[in-house]
Structure 1
Amino acid sequence: MTTSILPSDSDLAGLRLGEHRNTADAVDALTNAAETSTNQATEKWRHRFLALDPSERESLVMNIVLNDSSPQAARLEENLTLTFRYAITPGQEAVFYDLLRGWWTGIAVRLLDRSLESVTGNDLIVQISDIVDQLRTDTLPIDPAVLEPFSESSTGPYRSRRFVQQLSWIALDNTRLWKAIRDYHRSFTQRSFWLRHQLLSETELDRFAFQLHDEWEQIFDTRVYEMTRDGRIDVEAVGQEIFTMIAHESRAKLRDRFEAPWFNRGMFHALADGEVGEQIGWHPEFVSKLEEILSDVAS
């Protein structure tokens, strides 16, 4: 593969991918080059090529495909956009390219680690159709970065955040804690992707945050009332119950066909962080606890 252009009268032109391959001239040209070249770097390989019998040389060259005139890296986006222009809605070229590149990056890794044997043209067609579907107005695309692994070792930068403090107040176990951080990270990454590509407005996000707050409020008020009625003093356990219920029972949708439970869970943590919409929490006394933190900061 090369960005250079192979002259049409070159003896190697017959190695291009196509219906009119001519390997005979290429075998003769490569044999001549192997016999006459004085390049020391290729000497070992030229000798090995010449040691093959004629049928072996022909078989080897028949399996060589020259792909010249490949696009330069700086023009890759332009060339891909041109190739798939009929599938792309005007104004969505950048996000289409990001989604296609993200898919291909994952495919390339799987091909390299041998977890995927091959990729076909039909695989590409299916992926293009999927991207087009994700960009319709009743749903939203998943940022390829969200699909990248996120382990407990990646949670360090988030440990001092307010939503993590809120989870510590209900004594959430470590496994659920770091996975909650993962939900927040994925949600934040996804929101940034949509806003960057102008697929979502801040107003629409605010309306969604309002729906989530309403869901939380119904569950929180009910559980705190029941705790008071029953004389329970295990406030941490009640907080965990609230946290678990809201994670499992949230039905709010950002778009009609966009369903991603991890996004809703991550958005609840954004609300608990005071990042979007009205403040929420899990501990029955989270309001007074937050006021204590704010007063300590002020003093």
Structure 2
Amino acid sequence: MSASFSLALGAAREAAASQHYPQAALYIVATPIGNLADISLRALHVLQICDAVACEDTRHTQSMLRAYGIDRPGAQLLAVHEHNEAEAAQQVIERLQQGGRIAYASDAGTPAVSDPGARLVAAVRAAGFRVVPLPGASSVTSVLSVAGALGDAGAFVFAGFLPAKAGERDAAVARLGQEPRAVVILEAPHRIEALAKSFAVLGARLVTVGRELTKQFEQVATVSCDAFAAWLDADSSRTRGEFALVLHPAPQAKADGEGLRVLALLMNELPLKTAVKLAAEISGESKNVLYDKALAMKGAGSSQAPQ
């Protein structure tokens, strides 16, 4: 433990000790995705006071705890990973039945988001025990915050890891190509080149690549999907590390005056969806764009053709 984390433990006690931490509760603890300094004060406090720590990898979590100056005997570390989660959840529930406070931490980031933890949380809740979130580091929100891809709408889809098999991955990318919102995708280094090749079919649509986020060799770059593979090939170091990516929203086509005029006339006589469908067929413009325009016109209380 460095002197700085010694101070952090003291700060955690000062800031968080006076708060309420119910017994017989599971605490979902977000841990750093690469930079140890990204731990929260409340997380440090809970990791000190809990009766046991359930974790994806006991060796990894033990090393992290010791870096912060928290030393726990092996009996207080419970392995809960993707291969034993259903069975291990029962061990956690037994400890909760005895009134214990149990913290759960995956190897990095917020548990149960493309990491083990979801089945554990479901089992604990089904057994009638409280689950308490301790927010913190997340590759999903980290990459979104630097991608500049959300715009005014602020909407995105989390796709997680795409299928490993080529055919299934290509089909998944094709489906994402129809998604108008931003999409967050996670990928491992040994599959990033294959993913980049699959992305080529999306053409000029932008993708922000977050590599080794929060770590020493962090890199964030935005390229077109059809240039993604070439960007990786340009530097061998770009295929190393963990990846979080944001597929930017598809460019929105704009309805011109003719499409809006036809839409307004049809809305005077027909239900909204029927009017949109016919207006798109007549004008050749995007059905989705015309539908958004129709909702705006209806909300404004006007279906008159624009002047």
- Give the TM interval when normalised to the shorter protein: under 0.3
The structure with more strand, counted as a fraction of residues: 2
Q: What is the TM-score normalised by the length of structure 1?
A: 0.25
Q: When the two structures are superposed, what TM-score results if normalisation uses the length of structure 2?
A: 0.25
> Which structure shows the bigger proportion of residues in helix conformation?
1
